[in-house]
Structure 1
């Protein structure tokens, strides 16, 4: 988090130097600051209306990496880790965001382009850590080093630069890095002008006439992380920094300044500002970092107080911090584990439907319970305590939703009886010519009863041999995940839902790998009867011009299925075509399921490692992290294309013979600007959508008798209607 107003001040003190000065150095980069710049440059203002991740993100990152390569700069990206502990229950207030989203949609349906653009532009629809999984994959593909710090990035960068081994030679970060033990910080690189801006801490201290300790106090009083701005200063820009500097010169220390105003200023006294200030000061001076020997240690450990856990949090095992550093587990999971509480914020659709809230209260809470149980089974018993989640729609009430491990459909103990079976995933991968295990591949390993029985560890038997091949680790992780989600039973044989995955790909063996995760999410939503042709409890769209009820239901179901796949983009321009709020409701539910499946899958892998099921010294942890499923959250764009095409076809005079004309109408309605961002044409994208529909339909058809007759009939009728409308 930037120090309030510090950028306004330091920008005047920066020096510009030629980029060639940085040639052949190892540059430590604050990944959060860098990614914020990337996101700002892509400026995808309608992202809050279509969901997913920025379509231009990959291209922007790859261009930046190419710039570093051309300049002969060797980057090491450091991303943030855990938050500092908050003992109080989190406050979740999304009223302002919800009101802005409603206003944006009202303006969109009223055709007020300028008004809706203003609202969408003012909304932040991205949470940076949600993008880390994709960013890590891109960095891995380009052989660029990265790590996640145990806590803050600046502390980790300061440690790496001061390390005698000279792990990095310089730091590229925000001006807040000056709070830490650094001499100079690069704050901006301009690859076009071949220059960079750097700020020397000595110049700042000289200009402000402050000591290093006083400068830290200044940053905290200005406002940083958990420490709000000192109530006396609300001045905008560099003037605030100068005013705080004058205050410190008068009172010598920040604490003295707070004490001087505590008795006669209620804003200082009432929130106990002095305590917040001291805790944050200690946190900055003693923030834990990952050392080069693999241990996590507080900075300036010799001077650290004995109650450091009071303002940072209880220490987790070093091994767990290491897995965090490689991107193998999300900070959201560990923050909830350490704090004992978490928060659910409103989704892009505002979460106003009963269906979304029922999903959150039931399946998702059970999934979260499984995720935390996997970790608590392998760490100190202190963490085996009550953990609760606060929902945005409870407002300021004291309502808490407790994670109940006993309510999980499959317990952690049930998945601890795996061993290497007759079939080796590594060997079978080579035979199949597949890069890495996928869900259907893993299910084939246990499809035969005898093969499944060979993977069951007998009670009281010999300890299993740790898995050493990375493919076998990946396959077991997926199989355990499927067992927790009831796609595989206690005897390791595929259930009806597991067999549905096999059936879906049996008739379509050449289906691309991207269908695998999408089908898994489809079956999760199908089980909750959310993937159906029925409208949800809250319908946002205007009345359709289509009168045929069968067509309305089929278009709705096929569009929802397409939502799970997502369109492919060139990454040149963002989408600026039509949008649909009802599709965003379904997309928000699929995103909720996808994200929690991701967290559960991470916890399964970490549980395996902590339980010594794997030969850890033989593994490539970066490869394990970047191959974990459910990193991609698709937008509604493909579903919008499908809906537009099918509606155009249904309302055309020529009927089903007019498919080409319907494609042309879809292109006209989307606009040339929007279509220019698609990797392929509308027709190719529609073919992908219908191809994926076939996989989902065959999987659902195999579940006849398992799912409700009504749901089976909806798919049958929709498939029959769609058959004559495909090209």
Structure 2
């Protein structure tokens, strides 16, 4: 949360010094994870085309692992601390995104006009990455590399300050932004350059001496300047003329921030600011931290006021903060419970289609209802209060839409009757050859043993689950039941049977949790009738490439399906090839569904843990966190490759029933030439290999559709769309 213009002031006054990296040898370095991740995203992992393809930055894993290698080579032991919950706000979330929407539309206009430099310029000023969506993925990468991490109860700065000041010397130094100087720290390392073997550092004492301010006055000047969670003092908040020096002069004149604000209280803009300033100041001085005993306590506990909930928010059980610290749950769901509201912001395609907006207000709202109900289930009745959602497309004065937990398709009570069946989960998993449970395993288990897993009413509460395997199996089974893949009787539903049928014999999918997640998403979108060959209400392609409407529909459906698994990237060079806004519109549907299923999955595991369904002392919470489903969001690239290939092949083989291998090879060559050398080098496999993956996943989804049609679960029209597309593409696959 950078303080506005503070970095510029510090640099201008030469208050930052460079030191040799060897000085940090053998230290434990606490790192503000959000600050560090921002640099990763804007640096080595930056992708110019990301706003046009969606998904996560393809280079993020390589960029992170390169950083970790740097720490290891320098004998620095890092501890990454990510921010947690937001401080409570009295105002509603700001959902007016007019500027962002206009920039995205301008970028796509430039793409259509062939002016990529202009498009990239517009995209650069409209970020494509929402950092909180990446934290669980980053935690996975850190866990894979055996690097320590935690999530703070609230801000990372407060937690890092506590860890450094702790008599046990949990960390020896802090790496983060200059905003950490607002806390009780002596110095902050602001950058580390492994190539130059140096780092830069700011001394708080030198900054205070230069400003001629006390520690309390420095905090005031930072709050008045403004940062992520707090707006700039209104009379000095102008975009053009703002400077840190003006804020500093104001503070020097009035001696304290409170006096400075009160002096302008007649200004209508300042009337509400007085209370906000006082709340922000208390929040920075008394922000809760997780202590080394595992308890939550405010900083400067002795001076903390009794009404801390007024500016921090209401306290959750210590257990919940611990689950948050290990990444088992993220802040999104908890924030909505604490603040009473949440917001849906525009996706990368701008979310203009009627289908996307209806999906948000119907299907996604039902998933939100399930998530909120799960989150509240084991909390104090105080949290049984209204949670409302605001939508960006309803404008600056957007009305609130209440999340009605009673509208959840499957209630929390409906999934509370599980117990261990006759089959041993551990033995069955070993027999299957799987490393850990997945959807296929859970569906197979209930298909064989459903009746014995149902806890009859009035029976004694079953013993808690004791192993990670049991917890993961129960979690995925309950997740499947919440989304109606498993019936109340615990037998697979028609959708569950379709998933099981589709996965049968599919070794690649059975060994990949991410591909199984993609099938889960595909079936959810089929149920919502959003995975179809029909165009959405807005078509961004003015002229179709293919004249035959039936063929156009087939290509549209196949490319949508294949875009659900995403292309594989090396992570060194990024995609710079063809784009499709129509596929991006579909990608946005998949992305918002993935994100909300992830939140529901986290809320479910929290409910299981708080209800003592699991024997918590036996669990490795990091393993539990990093193996939760719906971690990855694919880009549109594989769908674009499939679309390009099928269109190219069709244009050169009009009317051909049987397509010769030479024509396929020629079409493949043309696609490779069109996407360019840079994009070819970005892929971890060849275009042919990626297309083969895409068509293999298409076959799996078609198998699931066939099962759904046989049980009359989906309409004849939708089933026919898949059948027609599958018949057409059969001779055209690589």
**TM-score normalised over the length of structure 2:** 0.96
Counterpart residue number, 2:716? 709
Match for 1:125 among 128, 131, 143?
Answer: 128
Q: Distance in 2 between matches of 1:616 and 1:566?
A: 36
Tell me how large the CA RMSD over aligned residues is. 1.5
Counterpart residue number, 2:27? 25
Offset, 1:548 = 2.0
Counterpart residue number, 2:604? 604
Offset, 1:307 = 1.4
Q: Distance in 2 between matches of 1:122 and 1:398?
A: 25
Offset, 1:115 = 1.5
Q: Distance in 1 between matches of 2:242 and 2:677?
A: 47
Q: Distance in 1 between matches of 2:238 and 2:585?
A: 41
Q: After TM superposition, list the pairs within 5 Å mapping 1:218-297 onto structure 2.
A: 218-233=221-236, 240-263=243-266, 265-269=267-271, 272-297=272-297
- Could you tell me which runs of 5 or more consecutive residues in structure 1 were left unpaired when the two chains were aligned: none
Counterpart residue number, 2:733? 726
Cα deviation per residue 1:415-436 (whole Å; 9 max; x = unaligned)?
Answer: 0011111223322222222111
Counterpart residue number, 2:59? 56
Cα deviation per residue 1:512-552 (whole Å; 9 max; x = unaligned)?
Answer: 41321110000000001111111111111131231222211
The more displaced of 247-256 and 481-490 is: 247-256
Q: Answer yes or no: is the 8 Å Cα contact 2:84–2:331 preserved in 1.
A: yes
Counterpart residue number, 1:139? 142
Cα deviation per residue 1:348-371 (whole Å; 9 max; x = unaligned)?
Answer: 111111111111111110100000
Q: Distance in 2 between matches of 1:613 and 1:663?
A: 53
Q: Distance in 1 between matches of 2:289 and 2:130?
A: 23
Q: Distance in 2 between matches of 1:213 and 1:510?
A: 59
Offset, 1:507 = 4.1
Q: Distance in 1 between matches of 2:105 and 2:367?
A: 30
Q: Distance in 2 between matches of 1:156 and 1:238?
A: 34
Match for 1:184 among 187, 191, 197?
Answer: 187
Counterpart residue number, 1:153? 156
Q: Answer yes or no: is the 8 Å Cα contact 2:517–2:629 preserved in 1.
A: yes
Q: Distance in 2 between matches of 1:237 and 1:96?
A: 17
Q: Distance in 1 between matches of 2:104 and 2:277?
A: 35
Q: Answer yes or no: is the 8 Å Cα contact 2:392–2:398 preserved in 1.
A: no
Query: Structure 1 residues 446 and 709, CA, compared in 2 at 3 Å: closer, same or farther?
Result: same
Q: Distance in 1 between matches of 2:236 and 2:556?
A: 54
Q: Distance in 2 between matches of 1:245 and 1:564?
A: 52
Q: Distance in 1 between matches of 2:87 and 2:591?
A: 27
Offset, 1:172 = 0.2
Query: Structure 1 residues 193 and 609, CA, compared in 2 at 3 Å: closer, same or farther?
Result: same
Specify the SS of the correspondent of 2:264: helix
Specify the SS of the correspondent of 2:181: helix
Specify the SS of the correspondent of 1:435: coil
Query: Structure 1 residues 515 and 226, CA, compared in 2 at 3 Å: closer, same or farther?
Result: closer
Q: Answer yes or no: is the 8 Å Cα contact 2:439–2:476 preserved in 1.
A: yes
Cα deviation per residue 1:378-425 (whole Å; 9 max; x = unaligned)?
Answer: 001111111110111111335221111111111110000111112233
Q: Distance in 2 between matches of 1:23 and 1:97?
A: 44
Residue 678 (1) aligns with residue 683 (2): yes
Cα deviation per residue 1:433-485 (whole Å; 9 max; x = unaligned)?
Answer: 2111110111101112xx11111111111221110110110010000001010
Q: Distance in 2 between matches of 1:78 and 1:507?
A: 42
Counterpart residue number, 2:490? 492
Offset, 1:232 = 4.2
The more displaced of 611-620 and 451-460 is: 451-460
Q: Answer yes or no: is the 8 Å Cα contact 1:9–1:238 preserved in 2.
A: no
Q: Distance in 2 between matches of 1:235 and 1:497?
A: 56
Q: Answer yes or no: is the 8 Å Cα contact 1:6–1:238 preserved in 2.
A: no
Q: Answer yes or no: is the 8 Å Cα contact 1:326–1:625 preserved in 2.
A: yes
Counterpart residue number, 2:455? 457
Q: Distance in 1 between matches of 2:370 and 2:542?
A: 40
Q: Answer yes or no: is the 8 Å Cα contact 1:8–1:238 preserved in 2.
A: no
Counterpart residue number, 1:197? 200
Q: Distance in 1 between matches of 2:218 and 2:317?
A: 33
Residue 669 (1) aligns with residue 674 (2): yes
Q: Answer yes or no: is the 8 Å Cα contact 2:236–2:242 preserved in 1.
A: no
Q: Distance in 2 between matches of 1:485 and 1:426?
A: 25
Counterpart residue number, 2:380? 380
Counterpart residue number, 2:697? 692
Residue 94 (1) aligns with residue 92 (2): no
Counterpart residue number, 2:407? 407
Q: Distance in 1 between matches of 2:144 and 2:405?
A: 38
Q: After TM superposition, list the pairs within 5 Å mapping 1:109-120 onto structure 2.
A: 109-120=112-123
Structure 1 stretches of at least 4 aligned residues deviating more than 6 Å after TM superposition: 235-239
Offset, 1:670 = 0.6
Specify the SS of the correspondent of 1:685: helix
Q: Distance in 1 between matches of 2:276 and 2:93?
A: 16
Q: Answer yes or no: is the 8 Å Cα contact 1:226–1:276 preserved in 2.
A: no
Cα deviation per residue 1:219-244 (whole Å; 9 max; x = unaligned)?
Answer: 11111244322234358999933343
Q: Distance in 2 between matches of 1:236 and 1:107?
A: 27
Q: Answer yes or no: is the 8 Å Cα contact 1:234–1:240 preserved in 2.
A: no
Q: Distance in 1 between matches of 2:425 and 2:454?
A: 16
Counterpart residue number, 2:18? 16
Q: After TM superposition, list the pairs within 5 Å mapping 1:331-480 onto structure 2.
A: 331-448=331-448, 451-480=449-478
Q: Distance in 1 between matches of 2:724 and 2:585?
A: 23
Q: Distance in 2 between matches of 1:711 and 1:165?
A: 63
Q: Distance in 2 between matches of 1:390 and 1:31?
A: 29
Q: Distance in 1 between matches of 2:716 and 2:490?
A: 28
Cα deviation per residue 1:309-352 (whole Å; 9 max; x = unaligned)?
Answer: 11111111111111111111121100001011110001111111
Q: Answer yes or no: is the 8 Å Cα contact 1:309–1:315 preserved in 2.
A: yes
Q: Answer yes or no: is the 8 Å Cα contact 1:5–1:237 preserved in 2.
A: no
Offset, 1:187 = 0.5
Q: Distance in 2 between matches of 1:542 and 1:660?
A: 29
Counterpart residue number, 1:168? 171
Q: Distance in 2 between matches of 1:663 and 1:552?
A: 19
Counterpart residue number, 2:217? 214
Q: Answer yes or no: is the 8 Å Cα contact 1:172–1:188 preserved in 2.
A: yes
Query: Structure 1 residues 198 and 238, CA, compared in 2 at 3 Å: closer, same or farther?
Result: farther
Q: How many residues align?
A: 722
Q: Answer yes or no: is the 8 Å Cα contact 1:5–1:238 preserved in 2.
A: no
Match for 1:103 among 103, 106, 111?
Answer: 106
